[in-house]
Amino acid sequence: MSSPQEQSDNVKDESKGSSPLNNVASVMAQSIEGMQSTMGTVYTTMATNLRQSLEMTQTMNSVMEHFLRISVRTKTVVTDEEGKPCLALILSNTSQIPVSKALCQIEFKPRNAEEEAPFDLEHMKSSTYTLPPKPSSTISIAPVFETSITSKCVSESITLEPFSAVRVDLALTPPLFTQYIVAVTVNFPSPGTGKMLSTRHEFGLYLVHQCVKTFLRTCDLAGSSAKVKVPLSPLRKLFRLSPAEGISSGTGFQFESNEMAITLVVSEFEKECTEAICEVYFLSNFEDNELHLKNLVEEIEKLYTVEKNQDY
């Protein structure tokens, strides 16, 4: 049994341990621990939300950049004037997003060669218009390409407004009479990230575009060197013949350049008059006559294939 003195000491100790100050300190300590836990949760939530927001922004930029790549389109049309090839280059933006500071580069490389070839470019005209095209919307603009002799021609800075196109017409002077692979690359910065985006388009510059072509309604040449079969539809387009212009036995198609002079004379028709068997006449004794003939026939057939796909 405790003495009265011991009981008094115990009462004092209990009274001291449960004083109001100690109770406040205890409550504050618990509150601080709770606040630290809450703030930690808040910071974790904020970090998670920021990370998700960043990922969403990156995803949106990626989607936008992909959309722009397929919206910035390049179309090329090759024609010729008296044996000099002419290139119509059309850059279009089919999106609602403006594309600024775009640069267009054209590279010319002879077929079966590793290095580019220098080309003499003659600027004919540059214009811009809205899509779909309307005659009243076409506006002339400053030359996009300067006349130059280079293997890699880089344009001035181009702005492609939403649903608009820029057309550039160039006259080309190839350094060699051969087939070329021409690559058109368009580089432009992403509006969202500034990252450089690019699109690339390739096409062929053929021998038929580098020749003076003459249509002969009747041709009485003799001494044929060979016979070839060619489709007539691309020949009509190359020689700019109207649908009413008749092609009959004895009709001639003449191709001439500084390195080739070949005439194809129709002798008979096949496949309901869509193809012709032609006699071949070499008008000059050039070294590469046989090679040029082979390439010429391949080009006419290739143009026919492209025409059926509605791209020519």
Overall average pLDDT of the 81-96 stretch: 92
Instruction: Kindly state whether residues 185 and 216 are assigned to the same domain.
Output: no
Instruction: Kindly state whether residues 217 and 178 are assigned to the same domain.
Output: no
> pLDDT tens for residues 11-68?
455 545 556 666 656 666 666 666 666 666 766 777 677 777 766 766 777 888 899 9
Instruction: Kindly state whether residues 138 and 78 are assigned to the same domain.
Output: yes
Contact 143, 155 (CB under 8 A): no
The backbone torsions φ and ψ at residue 125, rounded to the nearest 5 degrees and listed phi first, read -165, 155
Instruction: Kindly state whether residues 115 and 181 are assigned to the same domain.
Output: yes
> pLDDT tens for residues 98-132?
999 999 999 999 988 888 888 888 889 999 999 99
Instruction: Kindly state whether residues 200 and 227 are assigned to the same domain.
Output: no
Confidence at residue 231, expressed as pLDDT on a 0 to 100 scale: 94
Is pLDDT of 300 > 50?
Answer: yes
Instruction: Kindly state whether residues 227 and 268 are assigned to the same domain.
Output: yes
The pTM (predicted TM-score) of the whole model is 0.76
Instruction: Identify the residue with better confidence: 276 or 154.
Output: 276
Confidence at residue 55, expressed as pLDDT on a 0 to 100 scale: 67
Residue 54 forms part of a structural domain: no
Residue 31 forms part of a structural domain: no
Instruction: Kindly state whether residues 87 and 146 are assigned to the same domain.
Output: yes
The token duo for 201 is: 């388009």
Contact 198, 99 (CB under 8 A): no
Overall average pLDDT of the 277-300 stretch: 92
The token duo for 197 is: 């985006």
The token duo for 162 is: 């939403």
How far apart are alpha carbons 245 and 230 in whole angstroms? 18
Residue 241 forms part of a structural domain: yes
In degrees to the nearest 10, what's the CA dihedral of 223, 226, 229, 233?
Answer: -50
Confidence at residue 39, expressed as pLDDT on a 0 to 100 scale: 64
Overall average pLDDT of the 246-264 stretch: 93
Confidence at residue 311, expressed as pLDDT on a 0 to 100 scale: 44
Q: Which residues, 6 or more positions from 38, have their beta carbon under 8 angstroms from its beta carbon?
A: none
With H, G, I as helix, E, B as strand and everything else as coil, classify residue 312: coil
Instruction: Identify the residue with better confidence: 41 or 256.
Output: 256
The last residue of a domain, from among 205, 229, 254: 205
Confidence at residue 62, expressed as pLDDT on a 0 to 100 scale: 85
Confidence at residue 312, expressed as pLDDT on a 0 to 100 scale: 37
Domain CATH code at residue 81: 2.60.40.1290
- How far CA 58 is from CA of 63, 129, 156, in Å, comes to 9, 33, 30
Instruction: Kindly state whether residues 268 and 198 are assigned to the same domain.
Output: no
Instruction: Kindly state whether residues 268 and 154 are assigned to the same domain.
Output: no
Structure-token match 């407004």, residue found: 161
Residue 46 forms part of a structural domain: no
Residue 62 forms part of a structural domain: no
The backbone torsions φ and ψ at residue 251, rounded to the nearest 5 degrees and listed phi first, read -70, 140
Query: How confident is the prediction for the chain on average, in pLDDT?
Result: 85
Overall average pLDDT of the 303-307 stretch: 74
Residue 16 forms part of a structural domain: no
For residue 74, which amino acid is it?
Answer: T
Confidence at residue 207, expressed as pLDDT on a 0 to 100 scale: 94
Residue 7 forms part of a structural domain: no
Residue 80 forms part of a structural domain: yes
The domain in which residue 301 lies consists of 212-306
How far apart are alpha carbons 62 and 56 in whole angstroms? 10
Structure-token match 């836990």, residue found: 37
Structure-token match 């997003």, residue found: 97
Instruction: Kindly state whether residues 150 and 227 are assigned to the same domain.
Output: no
Structure-token match 């143009």, residue found: 303
Domain CATH code at residue 269: 3.30.310
Residue 12 CB: number of other CB atoms within 10 A? Answer: 10
In degrees to the nearest 10, what's the CA dihedral of 4, 8, 13, 14?
Answer: 100
The last residue of a domain, from among 183, 205, 227: 205
Q: Please confirm whether the linkage preceding 189 is cis (ω < 30° from 0).
A: no
Strand pairing partners for 84? 81
Q: Which residues, 6 or more positions from 209, have their beta carbon under 8 angstroms from its beta carbon?
A: 78, 79, 80, 85
Instruction: Kindly state whether residues 159 and 224 are assigned to the same domain.
Output: no
The last residue of a domain, from among 205, 221, 251: 205
Contact 177, 210 (CB under 8 A): yes
pLDDT band for position 271 (50/70/90)? confident
* Domain tally, the chain: 2
% of residues, the chain, pLDDT over 70:
82
Instruction: Identify the residue with better confidence: 199 or 305.
Output: 199
Instruction: Kindly state whether residues 186 and 105 are assigned to the same domain.
Output: yes
Overall average pLDDT of the 197-210 stretch: 94
> pLDDT tens for residues 162-194?
999 999 999 998 988 999 999 999 999 998 889
